[in-house]
C-alpha cells in the first residue's frame, strides 16, 4: 500500500523554480486583495465568465461536449439535457457553483469527495455516482499508429477506500500544522488523487473541482475570476506530461511530484497575471475605444471579439464591436472570416510601426 504522509514534503529540497512560483503567486495575491475587496460590478462579470469557461473546458478536456447554443441554454437552466454529455455538463455546473458558494463549509474528507462525485452524476442514468471503482482502471496512452498502451496503473479497487481516507487525513493534518506552504501541498494531494484514480469515471473533472476547492480554502481565490480549467485545457499536453513524469515510481513512494506541482503553480501564476491585467483595464478611465485598442494590440496571434470581452468585462459588447470596426478601418487590425468564425490579427499599420 502506498503511504500518505504529506509532512515529508517539508523535508524535501525544493527547486528555485518551485520557490519562485510560490513567491510570485503570493505577491500577486497581496497586490490584488485590496482591489478585489471593493467588488466592482465588472468583477461579477468576471466571475460569471470564469464559471462558464471552467464548466465548458473541464468537460471538454474529457471529450464531453455539446453545441455552443445548447451549452449556453444548459448553463442558464433554460433547457433540460438531451444526452449523456449534457447531463454531465449540468452536474459539473452544479458542483462548481456549490464550491463557489460554500467552499468554507466543505471539509476535505473521503466521504465528502464521494458526495461531490455523486452530485457530478446527479443528472446521469449511470449508477456509479459517489461510488469508488469496483474494477481496476488504467490510464492509457494512444500511439500515432492507433495502438494503446498502459501509461499508469492506479491503485487496485480494494486499496482505494483506505488510500483516500489516509490521503485526506494527512492533507488536513499537514495543512493545520502549517508544515508546508499550501501552494505546494495542494498540487501534491491532487497528484496523489489522480494516481489513486478512485472512481471508474470522472477523476479528471473531480481533480479540477478539488483544486478549486482547496485553493479557495487557503485564500487563493483567483479561480473565481480566471478559469484555471480553461488554462489547463489550453496546455493539456503539458498537463498530461507533467502528470506522467511525476507518476514514475509513485506506487513505491519513489516518485518526484515536482513536475506536476510546477505545472499547476505555473497555471495559477498565469491566472493571477491575467487577473492583474484585467484589473488594470477595469481601473482605467480611458474611453472604450482606447481600452479595446490596448487589449487588442497586447494580444499576439489571432483573437476574437469574445477574447476581448473576456479581457475587458467592464465595457459593453456594442462598444467592443464599434472599436473593432474602427481599428480595422484604421489598418491597425485585419478582420478574417465572417459570422461566428470572425477573428482578428494585427493590421499592416500596426506591423509597420
Which residue, among 232, 261, 244, has the nearest Cα to 60 in the 3D structure? 232
pLDDT-above-70 percentage for the chain: 97
Specify the pLDDT at position 39: 63
User: Which pLDDT belongs to residue 339?
Assistant: 86
Please tell me the distance from the alpha carbon of residue 191 to that of residue 175, in angstroms, as a whole number: 16
What is the rounded CA–CA span in Å between residue 340 and residue 328?
17
pLDDT at 351 over 80: no
The chain-wide mean pLDDT, for the chain, equals 92
Q: What torsion do the CA atoms of 328, 334, 337, 339 make, to the nearest 10 degrees?
A: -30
pLDDT tens column, 281-311: 777 778 889 988 988 888 888 999 988 888 8
Lowest average pLDDT, out of 34-48, 66-80, 99-113, 316-330, goes to 34-48
Which pLDDT score is estimated for 27?
96
Per-residue pLDDT tens digits for 259-280: 999 999 999 999 999 999 888 7
Its pTM stands at 0.87
The beta-carbon contacts of 101-106 under 8 Å, at least 24 apart in sequence, are 103/212, 103/213, 103/216, 103/217, 104/216, 104/217, 106/213, 106/217
Instruction: Give the domains, in start order, of the chain with CATH numbers.
Output: 6-281 (1.10.3290.10), 286-352 (1.10.10.10)
The torsion angle over the Cα atoms of residues 160, 90, 264 and 102, rounded to 10 degrees, is: -80
Rounded mean pLDDT, 326-349: 89
pLDDT band for 24, please (50, 70, 90 cuts): very high
Asked if the model's pLDDT at residue 108 lies above 90, the reply is: yes
Amino acid at each position: 500500500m502506498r503511504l500518505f504522509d504529506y509532512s515529508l514534503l517539508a523535508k524535501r529540497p525544493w527547486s528555485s523554480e518551485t520557490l519562485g512560483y510560490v513567491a510570485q503567486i503570493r505577491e500577486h495575491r497581496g497586490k490584488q486583495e485590496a482591489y478585489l475587496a471593493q467588488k466592482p460590478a465588472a468583477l461579477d462579470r468576471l466571475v460569471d465568465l470564469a464559471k462558464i469557461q471552467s464548466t465548458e473546458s473541464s468537460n471538454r478536456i474529457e471529450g464531453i461536449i455539446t453545441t455552443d447554443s445548447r451549452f449556453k441554454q444548459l448553463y442558464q437552466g433554460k433547457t433540460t439535457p438531451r444526452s449523456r454529455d449534457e447531463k454531465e455538463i449540468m452536474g459539473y455546473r452544479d458542483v462548481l457553483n456549490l464550491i463557489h458558494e460554500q467552499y468554507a463549509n466543505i471539509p476535505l474528507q473521503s466521504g465528502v469527495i464521494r458526495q461531490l462525485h455523486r452530485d457530478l452524476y446527479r443528472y446521469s442514468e449511470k449508477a456509479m455516482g459517489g461510488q469508488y471503482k469496483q474494477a481496476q482502471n488504467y490510464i492509457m496512452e494512444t500511439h500515432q499508429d492507433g495502438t494503446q498502451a498502459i501509461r499508469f496503473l492506479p491503485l487496485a479497487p480494494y486499496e482505494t477506500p483506505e488510500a483516500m481516507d489516509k490521503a485526506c487525513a494527512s492533507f488536513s493534518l499537514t495543512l493545520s500544522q502549517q508544515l508546508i506552504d499550501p501552494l505546494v501541498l495542494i498540487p501534491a494531494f491532487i497528484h496523489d488523487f489522480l494516481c489513486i484514480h478512485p472512481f471508474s469515471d470522472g477523476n479528471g473533472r473531480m481533480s479540477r473541482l478539488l483544486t478549486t476547492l482547496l485553493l479557495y480554502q487557503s485564500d487563493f481565490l483567483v479561480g473565481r475570476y480566471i478559469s484555471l480549467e480553461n488554462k489547463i485545457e489550453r496546455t493539456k499536453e503539458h498537463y498530461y506530461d507533467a502528470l506522467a513524469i511525476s507518476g514514475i515510481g509513485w506506487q513505491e513512494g519513489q516518485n518526484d511530484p515536482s513536475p506536476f506541482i510546477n505545472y499547476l503553480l505555473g497555471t495559477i501564476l498565469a491566472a493571477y497575471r491575467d487577473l492583474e491585467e484585467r484589473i488594470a483595464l477595469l481601473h482605467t478611465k480611458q474611453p472604450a475605444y482606447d481600452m479595446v485598442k490596448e487589449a487588442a494590440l497586447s494580444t499576439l496571434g489571432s483573437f476574437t471579439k469574445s477574447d476581448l470581452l473576456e479581457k475587458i468585462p467592464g465595457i459593453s459588447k456594442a462598444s467592443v464591436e464599434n472599436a473593432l470596426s474602427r481599428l480595422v478601418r484604421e489598418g491597425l487590425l485585419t478582420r478574417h472570416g465572417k459570422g461566428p468564425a470572425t477573428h482578428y490579427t494585427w493590421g499592416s499599420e500596426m506591423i509597420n510601426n
